[in-house]
Amino acid sequence: MPERYSINSVYPEPNEKRENSLLWYGPKLLLENEPRVILEKKSLINSMSILLFGIISILVIIIILILYFVLSKKNKNTPIFLSDHEKVTNILRASGGKCFQNDIVSQSGMSKSKISQIISEMEKNEFIAKQKYGKNNLIILK
């Protein structure tokens, strides 16, 4: 078989196919134009284009995956950690600038002693005012 050619079709089917030959064994009744072998020129471009298409497809998929992971990490809502003073200030703002100390404790999730320390510091720095209101303190944002 010539170089750069491949077998497209063979009739009648051979008993054996080798790298460069087709073999028929025994007595055969062959008609006119038989055996018929149709060869096809191997196209380097077709082989390369399939390989190139595969490589490009894999690269595109890899790039898409990389972009997806980079952008998904970038867009994740990372928790913003507020300081304790900011938490108390936000609670006071949400309640119109005034709130009882017990309500701040329940809304913040912090202990009574922690809230008491924060309020004392904020009062010392004149961010808030504290008024005694029965057994509870009314905290007013300045």
pLDDT digit string (tens) for 82-105? 688 999 999 999 999 999 999 999
Q: Coil, helix or strand for 47?
A: helix
Q: In this model, does residue 78 exceed pLDDT 60?
A: no
Domain boundaries, the chain: 5-41, 45-78, 84-141
What CATH number matches the domain at 84-141, 3.40.50.2000, 1.10.10.10, 2.30.30.40, 3.40.630.30?
1.10.10.10
Q: Quick one: DSSP state of residue 33? A: T
Arithmetic mean of pLDDT, 48-65 = 90
Q: Quick one: DSSP state of residue 44? A: H
Which range, of 29-38, 60-69, 116-125, 128-137, averages the lowest pLDDT?
29-38
Closest CA to 117 of 77, 84, 93, 70: 84
Q: Is the distance from CB of 91 to CB of 115 less than 8 angstroms? A: no
Arithmetic mean of pLDDT, 105-131 = 92
Closest CA to 85 of 136, 133, 126, 132: 126
Q: Is the distance from CB of 83 to CB of 127 less than 8 angstroms? A: no
Half-sphere exposure at residue 64, Cβ-oriented, CA atoms within 13 angstroms? 6
